[in-house]
Amino acid sequence: MGVEDKTKKELEKLRGSIDKVDSRILELLNERAKIAQDVGRVKQSAGKTFYVPSREEDLVRKLTKQSPGPFPITGIRPVWKEIISASLSLEQPLEVAYLGPEATFTHQACRKHFGLSAQCMPVRTIAEVFDYVEKGKAAYGVIPVENTTEGAVSHTLDKFMESQTKIVGEVLLRISQSLLSRSGRLDEVGRIYSHPHAIAQCRDWLEVNAPTIPLLDTTSTAQAAKIAAEDERAAAIAGEFAADIYGLEKVEVSIEDNPNNFTRFLVIGREIPEPSEHNKTSLLFSVKDQAGALYKILGSFYENDVNLTKIESRPQKRSAWEYVFFLDCEGHINDQSVKDAIKGLEKVCRYVKVLGSYPSVDTEGIS
């Protein structure tokens, strides 16, 4: 037997083994789906919510720790996200509103968190996302809250001052820009469209590789992709996700100047989820006008050994020169240490509002 025949026979044997494993995986997925349906029936009879983000996050973290390899650790989360998403769709269609239009980074964050089986609904404004969740038009909403280079999204913070929704999750997404067109060839591009922020993020690459091509502003990277899909001489700066949605080819990927550009998105719902293994709590508060008020607030967290991960101030629109603060800390609202820290806040604050307690994002393998 020749080398080529021997190689062919060995490959056929190995592929046969893979086929058998795939059949076993499919059998187990169907077995899991049947159990998920039973879980759904029990939850429905007990009047419990069918989507439990804390349970999902703990499961993914546990599987990640258990895996001996060689399957990549970074592949476990997206695979199980889709398994869970598909299983949930058997219990009840999960409707999620997000800041549109389709193919934006918020849409990508929505898909990353809820999976492909969720019914993601684009809406026009951040206020509309809150409205959809509050009125029950959607079970959850996804909105941007801060970017590592551009700072906080003020519209999102402002809406929390009046909204009764709760933060139930967070998504961290690396913002990577690509140049997309119908042909995938730079020499066929006559004009480049994108949102001004996206163009600014790619300024160095554009100056070197496309110095003479006109740059035109759009309201979103998704709109730029739509224009590029309709105009063979146009290209768009957008995420790779937009290429799949609008059928575009990649001229060049990762053209952003700063590779460490991340956006944090919040998932909002109507109820605070149960505690997971790793939690974060978000608060809104307004301090009394007295010396050392903010010092006392920070001291309350220090005294109760609660770690702060973020603090942000916003002006109150109703009163000039008065501010509200947004604060993130480690732990769940049910934790005694967090409860005690909040009690300390109430002594020196005009008001304190718990915005939510939710599973903190696992930064390993962020994409």
* pLDDT above 70 for 365: no
Percent pLDDT > 70 in the chain is: 96
Structural domains of the chain sorted by starting position, each given as residue range(s) with its CATH number in brackets? 3-89 (1.20.59.10), 93-175+262-268 (3.40.190.10), 178-252 (3.40.190.10), 273-359 (3.30.70.260)
Express each pLDDT in 43-66 by its tens digit.
Answer: 878 877 777 877 888 888 899 889
The single residue listed with the structure tokens 């039973």 is 38
DSSP letter assigned to residue 275: P
Give 89: exposed, middle or buried? Use CB within 10 Å, 0-12, 13-18, 19+: middle
Is cis: bond before 259, omega within 30 of 0?
no
Token pair in block for residue 348: 């020196």
Q: How far is residue 54 from each of residues 113, 198, 254, 272, measured CA to CA in Å?
A: 13, 34, 33, 10
DSSP for 103-168 reads TSHHHHHHHHHH-TTSEEEEESSHHHHHHHHHTTS-SEEEEEEEETTTEE-HHHHHHHTT---EEE
How sure is the predictor about 133, in pLDDT bands with cuts at 50, 70 and 90?
Answer: very high
Beta strand 262-269 pairing with 166-174: antiparallel
Residue-level pLDDT at 367: 53
Express each pLDDT in 169-222 by its tens digit.
Answer: 999 999 999 999 999 999 999 999 999 989 999 999 999 999 999 999 998 999
Q: Return the minimum-mean-pLDDT range out of 8-12, 147-151, 305-309.
A: 147-151
Rounded mean pLDDT of the chain? 90
Express each pLDDT in 297-342 by its tens digit.
Answer: 889 999 999 999 999 888 876 665 577 899 999 999 999 999 999 9
What type of residue is 29? L
Residue-level pLDDT at 25: 94
Residue 204 to residue 257: CA distance in whole angstroms? 6
DSSP letter assigned to residue 186: G
Residues 6+ apart with CB under 8 A from 37: 90, 91
CA atoms within a 13 Å half-sphere pointing along the CA-CB vector of 230: 7
